[in-house]
Amino acid sequence: MQDFSRKILVSKEFYLKFFAVGLAMAMATQANALTLADCKRTTHPSHGGEIRHMDLGEGRVMWMDWWSQEGTAKGFSLVECASGETLRFRSAEENMGRRSAFDRTDDAIEVLDRHQAGSRIFATFERIANDLEFIARDIAITTETVETCACAAAYPALRGEKTEFMLAG
């Protein structure tokens, strides 16, 4: 009878240790998980970067791109995390070459808000781009093969075959 009770104690101790190790690993993974706040970064030392990363829901993310060296510019990037389809456009610029200065950021945000408020099936990048045609500049829709930081933070399971995003540092 003592052997049996000893085996039970060993088994309980084993399972408690096993559970504790698993819990510690899960907590470490969560502690190291990438967040949208981690995606705020300078992409060009001192004069360009990405800010205000947002999860728009249903596998879509967005952030603002900025530039400030001998001129200023800002724009937005929207990404469908599963496909890598990306919509980029510039909403403001000043002293960026020979083009005239403009700032239609508020108008661009209104377009984005209107599409975000409706059904996602109608908020395609093509439709958003069409609505931005006389508001924004440098509108482009591309398909990326490298996971973005915002997608890695908000939708890591949607990476698919894209190259995994790695935070430099």
Read off the pLDDT band of 2 (50, 70, 90): low
Quote the CA–CA distance of 165 and 63 in Å, as a whole number: 16
Question: What is the reported pLDDT for 108?
Answer: 98
* Residue 167 forms part of a structural domain: no
Question: What is the reported pLDDT for 97?
Answer: 86
**DSSP letters for 80-137:** ETTT-EEEEEEEEEESSTTSPPEE-HHHHHHHHHHHHHS-TTT--HHHHHHHHTTT-E
The answer on 44 and 111 residing in a single domain is yes
Structural domain count, the chain = 2
pTM comes to 0.78
* Residue 151 forms part of a structural domain: yes
Report which residue type is found at 101: A
The answer on 48 and 90 residing in a single domain is yes
The answer on 57 and 85 residing in a single domain is yes
Domain membership of residue 23 as a residue range: 1-32
pLDDT in tens, 18-57: 444 444 444 334 445 899 999 998 776 767 888 999 999 9
* Residue 7 forms part of a structural domain: yes
The answer on 66 and 12 residing in a single domain is no
pLDDT in tens, 79-112: 999 999 999 999 999 998 899 999 999 999 999 9
Question: What is the reported pLDDT for 169?
Answer: 63
Question: What is the reported pLDDT for 13?
Answer: 56
pLDDT in tens, 128-155: 999 999 999 999 999 999 999 999 999 9
